[in-house]
Amino acid sequence: MVFNRKIAHINLSNGKISQKIVPKALRAQYLGGRGIDMHLLYKHMNPKINPLSPENLFIVGVGFLSGIPCLGSGRCDIAAKSPLTGAVGDSNIGGFFAPELRFAGFDHLVITGKAKKPVYLLATDDEITIKDASHIWGEDTFEAQTLLRRDEDDENIKSLVIGLAGENLVKFANVRTGMKNSAGRTGMGCIMGSKNLKAIAARGTIPVKFTHPDELIEYCMQMNDMITSTRWSKAQSRWGTMIIYSNTNTTGLLRTRNFQLNRLEDGQDLEPENIDRYSIGTSGCYGCSVHCRHRYVLREGPFAPLFGEGPEYTSLGAFGTMVGCKKMETILIANHLVNKYGLDTLETGGLIAWSMELFENGILNEKTTDGLRLEWGNEEAVFDLIQRIAHREGFGDILADGFGGAIAKIGKDSEYYAIQVKGMSNLHSDERPTPSFALGIATSTRGADHLRSRPAIDMYGLPEDTLKEIYGGPVADDYNSYDGKSRMVWWQELLYAVTDSIGTCKFQTVFCAVHAPKWEEFSKLIQLATGMEFQKSHLMQIGERICTIERLFNLREGFTRKDDNLPERYYKEPTPIGLPVARNKKIDKEKFKKMLDEYYELHGWDKDGVPKQETLKKLSLDNTLLNLS
């Protein structure tokens, strides 16, 4: 059963390991995955610590429904205090690791301390062992996984690993599993590196017994049919998340040359169908019927032969539109390099694009960039900088500390050009025409973010009656409008918090597809899998509890309302090109403030974004609950 899975507390400094069953009361409050991780992080970590100190926690949490045969249920959550932002550090990762950790008997690992030498953790049936990783330290993320399987003489070993970027404490280093899956955001790979933790490997044979297995399988088949019948899923199965580019670039919703333009002219080679020149098939995560990522091969050029998976829409922007590169092959090479070294693709591309605009404006020059001419479209400079960042060499060492550290070294006049919130780079989307998206990136607890609250269906022009039915209140059907958009952001934020806690894929819920699983379907899946009963209102309250405890974490670390803001360029510079619906748009600062007030009110927070006492009481976020294990 799910309920016999354990939390393991592992101290790498002294080698002590303890285990206990995850309390059912904790399940009732947070489900699993991100929810329980956030509770553990808030409860067990002292405020104001240095994220790179041994005191920081590194937490891995399996989703509550991980292992069911639908909705891409192979996901787990990784959390710590972020070395990039100093705020909530949290990232979600798919693939096959989460179910394997659950089969080994564990749903949450809470890791503290620092090993004296490189180590990896091995989770097998109800047992965790700390093992020497000296021979793996220095290997890239692909080779590290191969060596772990060889060490354990088991091809079925699944592992979370870091690459050179994590070992070198790049503040946006990620955690990887398989060829493509990445916990990319907030620098979780840097935390592993700071603890001398190269990898976490899992292999288990303990069966997961569901409460109503026959009915669960039948309902999962219905969920798979529900997903694969949507137009979004059909397009995603064919071209992955790159399909978004066709619409956003045509309209003028992509930031290009950092933030100078909002459409890439002559960007036809980045259209998703051009992946067909390199693709040898598609693959998917555990429990996924969509199979959204391509496996590709480059047979020519200086990096050939090269085999990779992807790329996602984020890589298309990070190494295409934002830096002015227009060839699909450039994207595939850069995507492979960041995966090899273990770097967040989005943060890497954002920093390189920012550097190019600084170079163009004379704030940087060849002397400060080690002779690199950081000009738009210079793919060689992009490849070079990726490698310099991972190795912390020269100018790459400056960028390796993220926007906060780089601005401090380059100078205050560089800050205006940084497209970031709370120290984290934004996606390559341009939110000036879309106030709902703008509010979402400003308010996300972990920094500029498209995966915490983005209401992508705002772009569809749905009837207002339909939007009211979904969101429970009035919402304007025009995505340029500010009316009701705070409600959309709030609702999606709760839904994604629960999605991350049950361990299913966001793309297989109400994100880009209206007729996709949400509260009611989640409720039935939980009941069939675990026997626990949650109504829609209960699940929404769990989402609210998770968002609020993340808010409490950030408040404790010194973040305030002023940090829920956009870069000044959003308010000052109108979009120069695109279709009429996207051209000459900027965010109205006063209307944005009103949206922010409405967003706080929906959460039950005061005008400063501080949760009200009655909200904390309603959510049981008092001292009693925070003392739960």
Q: What is the pLDDT of residues 352-368, one digit of tens each?
A: 999 999 999 999 999 99
Tell me what pLDDT residue 628 has.
55
Question: What is the pLDDT at residue 237?
Answer: 87
Asked if residue 1 has pLDDT above 70, the reply is no
Instruction: Please name which of 346, 341, 347, 387 lies closest in space to residue 162, comparing C-alpha atoms.
Output: 341
**Is it the case that residue 608 has pLDDT exceeding 70?**
yes
Confidence of residue 624 (pLDDT cuts 50, 70, 90): very low
Helix orientation angle between 589-603 and 536-556, rounded to the nearest 10 degrees: 120
Pairing of strands 58-62, 76-81: antiparallel
The answer, yes or no, to whether residue 107 has pLDDT greater than 90, is yes
pLDDT of residue 589: 98
- pLDDT category of residue 3 using cuts at 50, 70 and 90: confident
CA distances from 147 to 117, 120, 551 (A): 18, 12, 40
Contact 246, 235 (CB under 8 A): no
List the single range of 126-130, 140-144, 507-511 with lowest mean pLDDT. 507-511
Whether the Cβ atoms of residue 388 and residue 339 lie closer than 8 Å to each other: no
What is the per-residue pLDDT across 449-462, written as a single tens digit (0 to 9) for each?
999 999 999 999 99
Q: How far apart are CA 83 and CA 89, in angstroms?
A: 8
Task: For residue 247, give Cα distances in angstroms to 242, 331, 425.
Answer: 10, 19, 22
| CATH fold of the domain at 241-425 | 1.10.569
Dig out the tokens for 430 from the structure. 């341009």
**What does DSSP assign to residue 319?**
I
Q: What is the mean pLDDT of residues 77-106?
A: 98
Has residue 629 got a pLDDT over 70? no
Beta strands in 169-235 (DSSP E): 175-177, 181-183, 197-202
The per-residue pLDDT for 377 is 97
Tokens of 549: 């405890």
* The two three-digit tokens of residue 279, written as one number: 């693709």
Rounded average pLDDT over 87-103: 97
3-state secondary structure (DSSP) of residue 266: coil
Provide the CATH topology of domain 435-626.
Answer: 1.10.599
Q: What is the mean pLDDT of residues 48-60?
A: 98
Closest C-alpha among 369, 504, 171, 296 to residue 496: 504
Question: What CATH homologous superfamily does 2-202 map to?
Answer: Aldehyde ferredoxin oxidoreductase, N-terminal domain (3.60.9.10)
Give the whole-angstrom CA distance, residue 390 versus residue 371. 18
Amino acid letter, residue 321? T
Q: What pLDDT does residue 626 have?
A: 53
CA pair distance 203, 13, nearest whole angstrom: 24
Mean pLDDT, rounded, for 512-526: 95
Which tens digit of pLDDT belongs to each residue from 138-168? 999 999 999 999 999 999 999 999 999 999 9
Average pLDDT, the chain: 96
- Whether residue 373 has pLDDT greater than 80: yes
pLDDT in tens, 384-413: 999 999 999 999 999 999 999 999 999 999
Band (pLDDT 50/70/90 cuts) for residue 301 is confident
Q: Domain ranges in the chain?
A: 2-202, 241-425, 435-626
Strand, coil or helix: 333 = helix
Task: Extract the runs of DSSP E, i.e. beta strands, from 32-118.
Answer: 58-62, 76-81, 88-93, 106-112
Mean pLDDT for the stretch of residues 563-592: 98
